[in-house]
Every structure is written in structure tokens, then in C-alpha cells.
Structure 1
Amino acid sequence: MKAFFGTFIKEIKLLTRDPAGLILLFLMPSAFIISLSLALEGTFMTVEKSVNKYKIAVVNNNTGHDGKNIIDLFEKSGKLIVLTNFEKTLLSEERARRAIIDSDIIAAVIIPQLDKNRDRRAEIKLIIDPGLANEVGSFLQYSLQQYIYISEIARLNIEKNMLQKSIYPQTVEYKANLGTIASNSGDFSIKKYYALREATTDIIPTSVQQNVPGWTIFALFWIAQILGINILGEITDGSFRRVKVSPTSERIWLTGKIVPYFLINLLQVLFLFALGVYLMPKIGLPALEIHNTGALVILTLAVSLCAISLGVLFAALSRSSFMLSSFSAMILLLMSVLGGIMVPKFVMPPVMQDFSMWVPHGWAIDGYMNVLVKQSGIRDILPAVYRLLIFSLLFFSAGYLALKSKLGRI
């Protein structure tokens, strides 16, 4: 234990000798978070530019023509796959909401039966995934609004014709047709909701919820490069020879070097999330809302462990600090792109979205989005945590074995 604390304190002293570099670890991601949140608020993408087809659920409670007409409208848009059944069962409103949370369905439209008393408009519910780009939800809402306007115009024309024709005798058949058309002409309003774990609510996702966790993940993993350079530097400059002749084991030496960087990662998360909570509202952006601190802490520990493990692997695979700096920067940037940090995942084509599941960044951002946007609990983020722990085990095991072999040759 004494050897561990000796190594730990030495690392802290080395880190504090470069205060500018230490401050940069906090300021660099802060600058990304602030600038990109301001630049990208509400402008992630447009449906018209997307090559993807989105799945939407439709619960048709309308016995008239409106339900079928709305479904036809969505199907003819060329952008949507309309589902009225999920897992071989007819959809209900609750099942549709759960399908949004648990599957790749992005939205649900609940078409009501018209109120026979006609004293108020029947409400069409548009329930969407909180992680969906604003423009996609707007496209769905616009399509419904367009149908309502057309239906309203048709209804007014019918009433006008009925008023004009009432001056003259009409056949029973003509009056029956008018009655059928009028009863099936939609008198609707639209209400938009967001599907969260606990309820369907109108909490709106923002670019802050994408950029704060996204660039926090970037910062956490960037420290892998710094840790790798530090470990490699001590090996190449001969400092490790003193460790070999001391009672300190390689495992204790490595642990003592790792822990300070792990603590720095946790401080980074506190600082960057505090920016989202307190600074963002001051500059005109929505505040970052944290609903489940426990889930957030568990996920952050898993992400940090994965980043530290990657740093050990970088040190083991490199022969010089220059080599480590070059290839680690390339790998970290590539992981950030594939994982949905620099480019939001919903912008990516399906193939690239599949690739994001092969890098830890993809699981990390999904976990944070679930906690911050969908208000998921600990149980809901466990799949992401497990994957991150698997990545950590693979990175650390490979790095430790390679590093042990390298140290044995010294």
C-alpha cells in the first residue's frame, strides 16, 4: 500500500507541474460544448435530406375515413414505414409508446374517434422519441396539420353546398351522401408528446443534451493518450528500472499511475456537466436536466474505466511518444466520429449506425442519452454499462499482457 501511495503522489506532482496542460483538459471540451450547442440547436438535420425511412406506429381508433386517409398520407410520403401492429399484436396507445422506447420506432400517431357532440375538436396525439431530430417531428406534425387543413376546407365546402342546396328540394340519396361525407370529415387538433420511461410528456430534447455528454465522452477518452504517453515515457527514459529494483510490483506501479487519471476523469465530468446545468441557461440555451444521478454515476465510472484501459493499451503498443501521439489521436478521432460524438447518430446511414456499436463511444452516448433525455434508470442503462465493461476488459487485458512482456525485456 505504501508503494501504491508513493506512485500515486508522484503522478499527482507530475500532473501539477504542467498546470496549462491540466487546465486544457477542461477548457478544450468546454469550448466544444458551448460553441456546438449554440451552432446546432434545432438544426441537426431535415427529413427531406435523409435517405433513411423511419418507422412510425399508427393506432387507428377512427371508424371513418380519416384514419385510413392519414395512414395513406404517411405511406405516400416515401419517408415513412407505417406499422399498425407490433410483435404480431394490434397496437394500443400504451404499446405504441413502449415500442418507441424499446425499439427503432421513432413516433406514434394516435387517431381518435370523432366526438359525436362536435363541441370540441378530437385530439390527434403525436408521440415521438425525445432523441429524434426536431425537423423529423416537425415533418410529422406538418403532415398531420396539412391533412387537417384539407379536411377542414372540404367540410366547409360541404356545409356551403348544403346551405345553397337547402333552397331546393333534394333527394334522400343526396342528403344521405352529404351526411356521410360530413361525418367523416376530420375536425381535429394535434398535440405533440414525448415518450419517456415514466410517462408520455412534452419535455423537449435539445442540442445541449447531445453535446454535453458527447464532448464529455470525447474528453474522457482523450486522457487515454496522455496516460499512455506518461506510462511509455517512464519506460523509455529509464525510470522504470528503479521500480524493478524496488519492492514495488509492476501491478502496484501501474495502478498508482492509473488512479490519478481516473480521478481527473471524474472531475472533468463534474465540471462539464455543471456547465450544462448552470452556464447554458445564462447564454440562452436550455439547461441540462439530470433526472437520475445514480444511473449517471454508474455510467460515468464505466466510461472512465474504459478510457483508462485504452490508455494502457496505447502505451503497450507504442515504441515512442511520437508514435503514440500520432496513432492514438487518429484512433480517438475515428472512434468519436463512428460513435456519434462529432456526428449525431441519427444523421448517419444505417450501416454507420451499426458500426457505432463496435466502439465504446457509441454505447457511452446511448447510455447518456437514455439517462438525460429518456429519464432511464439504472436497469435501462445496464446493457451499455456491460458493453463498456467488456471493452474495458479487452483493452486492459491486451494492454497489460503486452506491457508486461515489454517490461520484462527491460
Structure 2
Amino acid sequence: MTGMKAFFGTFIKEIKLLTRDPAGLILLFLMPSAFIISLSLALEGTFMTVEKSVNKYKIAVVNNNTGHDGKNIIDLFEKSGKLIVLTNFEKTLLSEERARRAIIDSDIIAAVIIPQLDKNRDRRAEIKLIIDPGLANEVGSFLQYSLQQYIYISEIARLNIEKNMLQKSIYPQTVEYKANLGTIASNSGDFSIKKYYALREATTDIIPTSVQQNVPGWTIFALFWIAQILGINILGEITDGSFRRVKVSPTSERIWLTGKIVPYFLINLLQVLFLFALGVYLMPKIGLPALEIHNTGALVILTLAVSLCAISLGVLFAALSRSSFMLSSFSAMILLLMSVLGGIMVPKFVMPPVMQDFSMWVPHGWAIDGYMNVLVKQSGIRDILPAVYRLLIFSLLFFSAGYLALKSKLGRI
């Protein structure tokens, strides 16, 4: 009971200290917001250029349909004037697996798999639309809309045929049957469309939009920047003599430290909510693509791991520093260097291979890979576990080293 009371006492004290500087608190939210908005606007054209240069709007059509439907869909895409339709690749007739591999290798942006209709089926035949997860939403929507339009028009044509045949059977002398419908198949309404994603093995192959890069990127930057503020706060309480009161009280160093770091952990979570809300709601208002979140559970787990790693790093900063000036100087250098190497300030997909290798050893790199998996590849919890495990291991290392060094420092007071 005494421990809980001491914890809440330290926690409330820390909250009061934070609210005494509302300008600094607001800056923790406004600074990354300014980076997200300005850089997303400035770099949107660059990201679109990279995406177009890689994908080139080529699509594959694997036509397993022996009727008119396959040819009609191919003609529909070719007449759009926006797509290059491939039915063969490297002089080989495309299969579904080969088309998926071509998407993963960035040779094409999407593939349409047209099935053969089974007369004995009990449900609609499924047209598969396989797309690159990093593809701009507008292009994916165009492909899906084109297929739906074909199905709807074909269904209307089929109904017109049935209507005319019925009228001819009832009024054979007054109704002239005309079925000038070209080669539209009468059974196209028996198709359905389902969208799939061709997932890559390496996150660095994905071309995100500027919003998908900058929102999680600068959120990670803000989360880790709290390490400097926490470190300065802990060190300040040690150097100004405030900690001596803790030593003469029954409160342990562990409870005191926990009470100090929990408010910063909560601030981190509020930062994520605020910055991701900007991506979801504000970005579309200023002409940028909206940030789409498909797996909230994976996002929450990853965010908790990133925040824990940042807080643990703050404890280590406090333990290794002798003064606030020293802490602010070397922590800023380390955090900025980690942001560059981790793909925050410079997107990983434009880095040379050697720099991409460096990013695999930096917590920022694991964090941005995890967010790219969730936001771009629309992966689930299982797919982000490698990044979460690395972040948790480093959190344990940072906190253990920081706590032991801090305990040694406190013992000398």
C-alpha cells in the first residue's frame, strides 16, 4: 500500500511539473505535426514520381476463361488508355503464381485472374484482383471499378436479353427481337470480384505514399525525442538535491523511477493518437492521400513497444550523463543519427544498400519497418512480431543498463 501511495505521489508530481510548462508540452505535438504536414506536401510529387517510375502502370491478365468475358475485360483495360495489358511475360504465358511474382518484383502493378465458369457451380466465380500493397489507392480503385462496371453492364445486357425473349414469346407478332449486344457474354453477372495483395518479403521494396512515410516516421521521431526530455528531468532531480528526500523516505528507487516514467509513456500514446489522426482526417483536406489504418491491434502493440524502447533509452541517457548540458548535447546527436540511419529523415527505399543494412541495427529502423508492414502491406500482428521482439529486447537492455548505472549513481549521493 505504501508503495502504491509513493508511486501515485511521484506520478501526480510529475504531471504537475509537466503542466507547468504548457508551451513545451504543446510543442511535443506541434513540432512533429509541422514536419508531417510540410514534408508530406513537399515530397508528395517526389513519392509519386518514384512510384510511377517503378511500376509504370503495367498490369497482367491471366485469362482462364474460354468464353468472351476474358477478351472483353482485356479490351476494356486496353481501351482505357491508362494501362499496358500483358498476357505473356518474358515470352511465357502468364500464370497466377508468375503474375504474383511479377508484382513482387515491381515489374507490374497488378494482376487480374479471370476464372472459367463452372456450369455446376453454386456460387459466383471469383475474379481475383491482385495488387501491389504500395500502389496508390486511386489506381487500385480504378482497376476494381473497371471490373465492376463490366460485370454490371453485362448483367444489364443479360437481363435485356431475357426481357426481349420473354416479350417475343408473349407477343411474337408485335415485338421484334433485337440482341445487338456485340460480344458481351450473357453470363457475366455470375462473376464476383475479390481483392488480394501480393506481399513482399522485404519491407524496403515497398513504395509508400508521402503520408504513409511521414506520419509514422515523424511519429517515431517524436516518440524517441521524449527520451531526451525524460532524461533531463530525471537527471535534474538527482543533481538539484530533490532525490535526497526520496532516500530518507521508505520509497524505493524503483517505485520513484516508475512514477516518473509513466507520465511520459502516456504522453507518447497521446502523441501517436494525435499525429495519426492528422494523417487520417487532415491530410485528405489538404489534397494528400488519407492514412488508412486496417489493423488497429497490430498498430497498438507496435506503438507500445516503440514507446517502451524510447522511455528505456531516456533512463539510459540520464544514467550516463553528468549534467543536463551534456545529456541534451549527446542525446540530440544520437537521436538525430538514429533517425537518419533508421529511415525517418531519409526514406529507406531511396537509401543505398549499405545504408539499408545499417538501418537493421537501429530501433528507428525496426519501428518504421513495423509501421510500413501495418500501414502499407496491411499486415497483421504476426507479421510485426519480429520488429516488436527486437524493440522489446532493446528496451530491456536500455532499461537494465540505465537502471543499474542510475542505482550506482544514486548510491553515491
**RMSD, matched Cα:** 9.5
What is the CA deviation profile of residues 184-237 of structure 1, one whole-angstrom value per residue up to 9, with x for unaligned ones?
Answer: 999999999963599999999521111111111110000000000000000111
333-342 or 119-128, which moves further after superposition? Answer: 119-128
- With over 3 angstroms needed to count, the CA separation of the structure-2 counterparts of 1:291 and 1:67, relative to structure 1, is closer
140-149 or 206-215, which moves further after superposition? Answer: 140-149
Question: Using the alignment, how far apart are the partners of 2:180 and 2:187 within structure 1?
Answer: 11
- With over 3 angstroms needed to count, the CA separation of the structure-2 counterparts of 1:408 and 1:136, relative to structure 1, is farther
Question: Using the alignment, how far apart are the partners of 2:323 and 2:299 within structure 1?
Answer: 36
Deviation at 1:358, TM superposition (A): 0.5
- With over 3 angstroms needed to count, the CA separation of the structure-2 counterparts of 1:363 and 1:85, relative to structure 1, is farther
Question: Using the alignment, how far apart are the partners of 2:298 and 2:118 within structure 1?
Answer: 44
The 8 Å contact of residues 88 and 94 in structure 2, kept in 1 or not, is answered as yes
What is the CA deviation profile of residues 53-94 of structure 1, one whole-angstrom value per residue up to 9, with x for unaligned ones?
Answer: 999999999999999999999999999999999999999524
Deviation at 1:401, TM superposition (A): 1.2
The 8 Å contact of residues 157 and 186 in structure 2, kept in 1 or not, is answered as no
The 8 Å contact of residues 316 and 398 in structure 2, kept in 1 or not, is answered as yes
How does the TM-score come out when normalised to structure 2? 0.68
The 8 Å contact of residues 57 and 83 in structure 1, kept in 2 or not, is answered as yes
Deviation at 1:281, TM superposition (A): 1.2
The 8 Å contact of residues 97 and 200 in structure 1, kept in 2 or not, is answered as no
The 8 Å contact of residues 290 and 372 in structure 1, kept in 2 or not, is answered as yes
Question: Using the alignment, how far apart are the partners of 1:352 and 1:102 within structure 2?
Answer: 21
Question: Using the alignment, how far apart are the partners of 2:75 and 2:400 within structure 1?
Answer: 55
Instruction: Please point out which of 394, 397, 400 is paired with 2:397.
Output: 394
The 8 Å contact of residues 316 and 406 in structure 1, kept in 2 or not, is answered as yes
- With over 3 angstroms needed to count, the CA separation of the structure-2 counterparts of 1:217 and 1:198, relative to structure 1, is closer
Instruction: Please point out which of 228, 233, 241 is paired with 1:230.
Output: 233
194-203 or 150-159, which moves further after superposition? Answer: 150-159
Question: Using the alignment, how far apart are the partners of 1:217 and 1:164 within structure 2?
Answer: 67
- With over 3 angstroms needed to count, the CA separation of the structure-2 counterparts of 1:265 and 1:149, relative to structure 1, is closer
- With over 3 angstroms needed to count, the CA separation of the structure-2 counterparts of 1:5 and 1:139, relative to structure 1, is closer
- With over 3 angstroms needed to count, the CA separation of the structure-2 counterparts of 1:178 and 1:131, relative to structure 1, is closer
104-113 or 371-380, which moves further after superposition? Answer: 104-113
The 8 Å contact of residues 164 and 177 in structure 2, kept in 1 or not, is answered as no
- With over 3 angstroms needed to count, the CA separation of the structure-2 counterparts of 1:17 and 1:291, relative to structure 1, is same
The 8 Å contact of residues 154 and 187 in structure 2, kept in 1 or not, is answered as no
The 8 Å contact of residues 197 and 376 in structure 1, kept in 2 or not, is answered as no
The 8 Å contact of residues 100 and 195 in structure 1, kept in 2 or not, is answered as yes
Instruction: Please point out which of 107, 111, 115 is paired with 2:110.
Output: 107
Question: Using the alignment, how far apart are the partners of 2:121 and 2:60 within structure 1?
Answer: 27
The 8 Å contact of residues 342 and 368 in structure 2, kept in 1 or not, is answered as yes
- With over 3 angstroms needed to count, the CA separation of the structure-2 counterparts of 1:54 and 1:304, relative to structure 1, is farther
Question: Using the alignment, how far apart are the partners of 1:75 and 1:287 within structure 2?
Answer: 29
What is the CA deviation profile of residues 319-348 of structure 1, one whole-angstrom value per residue up to 9, with x for unaligned ones?
Answer: 100011011111111111111111110000
SS for the counterpart of 2:109 is strand
- With over 3 angstroms needed to count, the CA separation of the structure-2 counterparts of 1:152 and 1:354, relative to structure 1, is farther
Question: Using the alignment, how far apart are the partners of 1:184 and 1:102 within structure 2?
Answer: 35
- With over 3 angstroms needed to count, the CA separation of the structure-2 counterparts of 1:23 and 1:259, relative to structure 1, is same
SS for the counterpart of 1:376 is coil
Deviation at 1:48, TM superposition (A): 12
- With over 3 angstroms needed to count, the CA separation of the structure-2 counterparts of 1:144 and 1:18, relative to structure 1, is same
- With over 3 angstroms needed to count, the CA separation of the structure-2 counterparts of 1:126 and 1:350, relative to structure 1, is farther
* Alignment size in residue pairs: 410
Structure 1, unaligned runs of 5 or more: none
Deviation at 1:25, TM superposition (A): 0.1
- With over 3 angstroms needed to count, the CA separation of the structure-2 counterparts of 1:56 and 1:286, relative to structure 1, is closer
28-37 or 104-113, which moves further after superposition? Answer: 104-113
SS for the counterpart of 1:182 is coil
Deviation at 1:46, TM superposition (A): 5.8
The 8 Å contact of residues 69 and 188 in structure 2, kept in 1 or not, is answered as yes
Question: Using the alignment, how far apart are the partners of 1:259 and 1:408 within structure 2?
Answer: 23
Aligned to 1:175: 178
Deviation at 1:259, TM superposition (A): 0.2
The 8 Å contact of residues 63 and 113 in structure 1, kept in 2 or not, is answered as yes
- With over 3 angstroms needed to count, the CA separation of the structure-2 counterparts of 1:192 and 1:167, relative to structure 1, is same
Question: Using the alignment, how far apart are the partners of 1:255 and 1:178 within structure 2?
Answer: 74
SS for the counterpart of 1:5 is helix
84-93 or 383-392, which moves further after superposition? Answer: 84-93
- With over 3 angstroms needed to count, the CA separation of the structure-2 counterparts of 1:91 and 1:340, relative to structure 1, is farther
How does the TM-score come out when normalised to structure 1? 0.69
Deviation at 1:380, TM superposition (A): 1.1
What is the CA deviation profile of residues 289-338 of structure 1, one whole-angstrom value per residue up to 9, with x for unaligned ones?
Answer: 11111111101000100000010011111110001101111111111111
Question: Using the alignment, how far apart are the partners of 1:26 and 1:303 within structure 2?
Answer: 17
Task: Give the percent of matched residue pairs that are identical in Structure 1 and Structure 2.
Answer: 100
The 8 Å contact of residues 218 and 341 in structure 1, kept in 2 or not, is answered as yes
400-409 or 302-311, which moves further after superposition? Answer: 400-409
What is the CA deviation profile of residues 268-303 of structure 1, one whole-angstrom value per residue up to 9, with x for unaligned ones?
Answer: 001111111111111111111111111111010001
- With over 3 angstroms needed to count, the CA separation of the structure-2 counterparts of 1:287 and 1:161, relative to structure 1, is closer
47-56 or 392-401, which moves further after superposition? Answer: 47-56
Structure 2, unaligned runs of 5 or more: none
Matches within 5 A, 1:191-230: 195=198, 205-230=208-233
